[in-house]
Amino acid sequence: MLRVDIEKQLGEFSLSAAFASEGRVIGLFGASGAGKTSLVNMIAGLLRPDRGTIVIDGETVDDSAAGIHVPTWRRRIGYVFQDARLFPHLNVAQNLDYGRRMNGLAPDPAQHKRVIELLDIGALQGRRPGKLSGGERQRVALGRALLSRPRLLLLDEPLGALDEGRKLEILPYLVRLRDEANVPMVYVSHDVAELRQLATQIVMLKQGRVTSFGGVKVLT
Amino acid sequence: MLDISPAEWTAILLSLRVAVIATLVATPFGIALAWLLARRDFWGKSVLDALVHLPLVLPPVVTGYLLLLTFGRRGLVGGFLADTLGIVFAFRWTGAALACGLMSFPLLVRPMRLSIEAIDRRLEQAAETLGATPFKVFFTVTLPLALPGVLAGMVLGFAKAIGEFGATITFVSNIPGETQTISSAIYSLIQTPDGDAAAGRLVIVSIVLALGALIAAEWFARRATARLHGN
């Protein structure tokens, strides 16, 4: 599903990571500053590796030796950021529809309905992002990413900006997403409990290096 | 109320036409340049930035004279445009629009550039992850979010264009009905005996137009802030 073998120098920090995974949810675990976000940004194409390859779903999206670097907008990935990044000039319904429109996909009312029910965001449709709570914003961001019909969903500490209560409110949605949405995910977190609940495989990062890789057991 | 004579109306309407055309033509160039200066790093950027601001610091008479040399009948560009496309700037209202457009350009670009710089680039990244090409990102995210700033720039540019005097009179002279704008009409009236009353009326019109534009620009700027906060 996802194969990564990259090197990247970012100022003083050097990132070097290699792993291949068929897991449904790859948990990317590490302290802040371990290089998790840089790694995810490279999978998304927002950052270009100095050397190496990235393969998503059989398609080589980065290969430094062959000079391949597929731009972000053609990678067909979904990305949920810690800070949601909803478009402030669009209401919730327009935000949700954005990816479908940009990719020129035909409307799929059944999928639309399923995602909205899954995330319980039907009542928010007409609202502007400025009028949403943090948890609601994150649920809409999840829906927006899913509705662009990605082949891989990247979640970079999607609960990071929420307080404990809100986290517990969103977590069940993520579990449902894993079990029902049928999209493989890369889930970035520094929270062991979160990853235990969600991940099927763990990539542990420490100061820019993969220190262990395997089942959820490596978290202990 | 103000008892505006037909001759004064001619000057007011000409000023409005010149300023409207100048603003409309300058706007796409202004947006492109504002985006370039806000979002791209390239060789010669500071030179380009200085060039854009040049009309602000150069004596208007110098700008007007340079326009005459370049866009006059015998000028390099002016001669070419007249021969090939039949577009003449010298001593025409179109020349006045060109002079006004150039003189107001720095004021038009500035709010546009500031509003583009204020947009969170991470929103543009988010749009890319959702499948939007850079071209689509610009039209669906950058431009809509910058719109109040774009409008503020247009209003400010318009206000400046309507008041432009030095470059216009140098380039296209002061011909009633063709190139005599409010400013050049006031200038002529002050030099005529008994012209004070008419000059006074045009002065009041100028003040009203300028104030209106400033208030409108301020309103658009406040809208921009509200928009960026998603309310």
Q: Are A72 and B126 within 8 A, CB to CB?
A: no
* Percent of chain A whose pLDDT exceeds 70: 100
Which chain A positions have a beta carbon within 8 Å of B130's beta carbon?
73, 78, 98-99, 102-103, 144-145, 148
Q: What is the pLDDT of residue B82?
A: 86
Per-residue pLDDT band for B230 (boundaries 50, 70, 90) equals low
The structure tokens listed for B101 are: 């457009």
Among candidate residues A74, A58, A115, the one with its CA nearest the CA of residue A92: A115
Long-range contacts of B204-212 (CB under 8 A, 24+ apart): B204/B2, B205/B2, B205/B4, B205/B12, B206/B162, B206/B163, B206/B182, B209/B159, B209/B162, B210/B159, B210/B162, B210/B163
The structure tokens listed for A48 are: 């270009």
Residues A199/A27, Cβ–Cβ less than 8 Å = yes
The alpha carbon of residue A188 is apart from the nearest alpha carbon of chain B, in Å, by 17
pLDDT > 70? residue B1: no
The alpha carbon of residue B20 is apart from the nearest alpha carbon of chain A, in Å, by 28
Residues of B with CB under 8 A from a CB of A: 120, 122-123, 125-134, 136, 140-141, 144-145, 227-231
* Angle, helix B93-117 to helix B143-163, in steps of 10 degrees: 140
ipTM of the complex: 0.93
Facing B230 at nearest CB: one of A46, A83, A128: A128
The residue-averaged pLDDT of B22-32 equals 97
For A152, nearest residue in chain B (alpha carbons): B129
Which chain B positions have a beta carbon within 8 Å of A131's beta carbon?
230-231
pLDDT > 80? residue B228: no
Q: Is A86 on the interface with B (CB under 8 A)?
A: yes
Query: Which domains does chain B show, CATH number per domain?
Result: 6-228 (1.10.3720.10)
Q: Are B122 and A85 within 8 A, CB to CB?
A: yes
For chain B, what is the mean pLDDT? 92
Residues B89/B95, Cβ–Cβ less than 8 Å = yes
Per-residue pLDDT band for B53 (boundaries 50, 70, 90) equals very high
| CB proximity under 8 Å: A 134-153 to B | 144-145, 148
Which chain A positions have a beta carbon within 8 Å of B136's beta carbon?
102
H or E element that contains A28: strand A25-29
pLDDT > 90? residue B4: no
Q: Give the list of residues 6+ apart from residue A62 with CB closer than 8 angstroms, or none.
A: A6, A42, A45, A48, A49, A52, A53, A54, A68, A69, A70
Q: Is A131 on the interface with B (CB under 8 A)?
A: yes
Q: What is the pLDDT of residue A160?
A: 84
Map residue A4 onto helix, strand or coil: strand
Facing A85 at nearest CB: one of B126, B140, B229: B126
Facing B126 at nearest CB: one of A45, A74, A81: A81
Q: What is the pLDDT of residue A181?
A: 79
Q: What is the pLDDT of residue A124?
A: 93
For A94, nearest residue in chain B (alpha carbons): B140
Q: Are B128 and A73 within 8 A, CB to CB?
A: yes
Q: Which residue has the tokens 């100048």?
A: B22
The span from the CA of A56 to the CA of A75, in Å, is 8
The span from the CA of B116 to the CA of B118, in Å, is 5
The alpha carbon of residue B212 is apart from the nearest alpha carbon of chain A, in Å, by 27
The alpha carbon of residue A146 is apart from the nearest alpha carbon of chain B, in Å, by 10
For an interface test with B, the pick among A40, A47, A85 (most B C-beta atoms closer than 10 Å) comes out as A85
Q: Are A148 and B130 within 8 A, CB to CB?
A: yes
The residue-averaged pLDDT of B200-221 equals 89
For an interface test with B, the pick among A69, A74, A95, A98 (most B C-beta atoms closer than 10 Å) comes out as A98
Facing A73 at nearest CB: one of B122, B133, B144: B133
The alpha carbon of residue B41 is apart from the nearest alpha carbon of chain A, in Å, by 18
Among candidate residues A77, A74, A76, A98, the one with its CA nearest the CA of residue A86: A98
Q: Which residue has the higher pLDDT, B45 or B1?
A: B45
Per-residue pLDDT band for B231 (boundaries 50, 70, 90) equals low
Pairing of strands A201-206, A25-29: parallel
Per-residue pLDDT band for A144 (boundaries 50, 70, 90) equals very high
Q: Are A89 and B227 within 8 A, CB to CB?
A: yes
Expressed in percent and rounded to 5, the helix, strand and coil fractions of chain A are: 35, 30, 35
Question: Can you give the pTM of this predicted structure?
Answer: 0.88
The alpha carbon of residue B154 is apart from the nearest alpha carbon of chain A, in Å, by 21
Which chain B positions have a beta carbon within 8 Å of A44's beta carbon?
129
